[in-house]
Amino acid sequence: MTSTDISEDLPSPARAAVAAPDSAPVMLALHQTALGGPEVLQLTELSRPVPGPGEILIAVHAAGLNPTDFKHRAMSLFLPPPPRTLGWDVSGTVTETGFGVTLFQPGDEVFGMLPYPYGAGSHAEYVTGPARAFAAKPAGIDHIQAAALPLAALTAWQALVETAGLRAGQRVLIHAAAGGVGHLAVQIAKARGAHVTGTASAPKHEFLRELGADACVDYRSDDFTDTEEPYDVVLDTLGGETATRSVGVLRPGGVLVSLLPGAEDTRAVAEKSQVRAVVLLVEHDRAGMQAVAELVDRGRLRAHVSGTFPLAEGGRAHAMGETGRTTGKLVLSVR
């Protein structure tokens, strides 16, 4: 599930230099010193980080992009104002371990998600993170594929399995099922033995069926609330009215998991309908990453990568991602 679709007219970042002590190792990073559009991203020379206690230093081979990267580039959200380097998805090779680390040693290939939201920094040649945020990279996939998985797959896993307790035979509705989280959620739900319905535009229905979706709803022309049988679980990646309307398709005792804040009205409606509505913020989790790796090894989970960009063209990747038309994931190829 890998293809390349890179538009030539998307903006590229400029290169900037930041002075570092002569004795300090340096690296290149996709850095920003101000909020704004993709043009604020600059390929910048920074000091290479040093792993602290319980941390590993990773030579980044590839780093995934997620909508949260685009949002944090443009506004502060969870993070303090710039300067900063974004990126939470990472796949690479351990080059150094901090005090007390026993799980990995230099040379190990790992993938994982840096602690969200305050651990950003994977859009660089090197990054540090807690050893227990990572798992061994599955041998059967390359770093591009591995880097596309962590944040989106962990989100889907934590939403469907750990929060909703999705079981075999249950019915699940996944909104924006062809997106980064959605297309992985479809595969995870099928691996759990669930009946899966996904919403997406009609041209993407064949893609969803290839992933295993049992039914598809065209959000442009069809009403997803028009269903003969209620759902046990809804994964809402859109929020707003979609979240509130989704309560009506759940059976009593069903679970609505939303990935966006501002669901107070939805919770009130859910309580009246005897439905549980929760908002999920993904967390770094070694056990979750190992579960994702196991699904990959079993051939049950694979990311669709619709575009890869070198680190120097991260601004173009952001511009493409912000169109909202990307299927699956975008990835930065670092080395």
Q: What does the pLDDT read at residue 262?
A: 67
Lowest mean pLDDT among 112-116, 210-214, 262-266, 314-318: 262-266
Q: What does the pLDDT read at residue 41?
A: 98
pLDDT in tens, 116-160: 999 999 999 999 999 999 999 999 999 999 999 999 999 999 999
Give 324 or 161, the one with higher predicted confidence.
Answer: 161
What confidence tier does 263 reach under pLDDT thresholds 50, 70, 90?
low
pLDDT in tens, 292-312: 999 999 999 999 999 999 999
Q: What does the pLDDT read at residue 271?
A: 84
Q: What does the pLDDT read at residue 25?
A: 94
pLDDT in tens, 33-87: 999 999 999 999 999 999 999 999 999 999 999 999 999 999 988 999 999 999 9
Mean pLDDT of the chain: 92
State mean pLDDT over 6-16. 41
| Neighbour count for residue 161 (Cβ, 10 Å) | 17
pLDDT in tens, 214-237: 999 999 999 899 988 999 999 999
Q: Quick check: 208 pLDDT over 60?
A: yes
What confidence tier does 95 reach under pLDDT thresholds 50, 70, 90?
very high
103 residue type, one letter: L
User: For the chain, what is the HEC assignment?
Assistant: CECCCCCCCCCCCEEEECCCCCCCCEEEEEEECCCCCHHHCEEEEEECCCCCCCEEEEEEEEEEECHHHHHHHHCCCCCCCCCEECCCEEEEEEEEECCCCCCCCCCCEEEEECCCCCCCCCCECEEEEEHHHEEECCCCCCHHHHHCCHHHHHHHHHHHHHHCCCCCCCEEEECCCCCHHHHHHHHHHHHCCCEEEEEECHHHHHHHHHHCCCEEEECCCCCCCCCCCCEEEEEECCCHHHHHHHHHHEEEEEEEEECCCCCHHHHHHHHHCCCEEEECCCCCCHHHHHHHHHHHHCCCCCCCEEEEEEHHHHHHHHHHHCCCCCCCEEEEECC
For CA atoms 281, 282, 288, 294, the dihedral sign is positive
Q: Quick check: 180 pLDDT over 90?
A: yes
State mean pLDDT over 323-332. 93
Please give the Cα distance from 327 to 215 (Å, whole number): 18
Domains and CATH numbers, the chain: 14-149+303-333 (3.90.180.10), 152-279 (3.40.50.720)
Tell me the Ramachandran region of residue 245: left when phi exceeds 0, alpha when psi lies from -120 to 50, beta otherwise. Answer: alpha
> In degrees rounded to 5, what are phi and psi of residue 292?
-60, -45
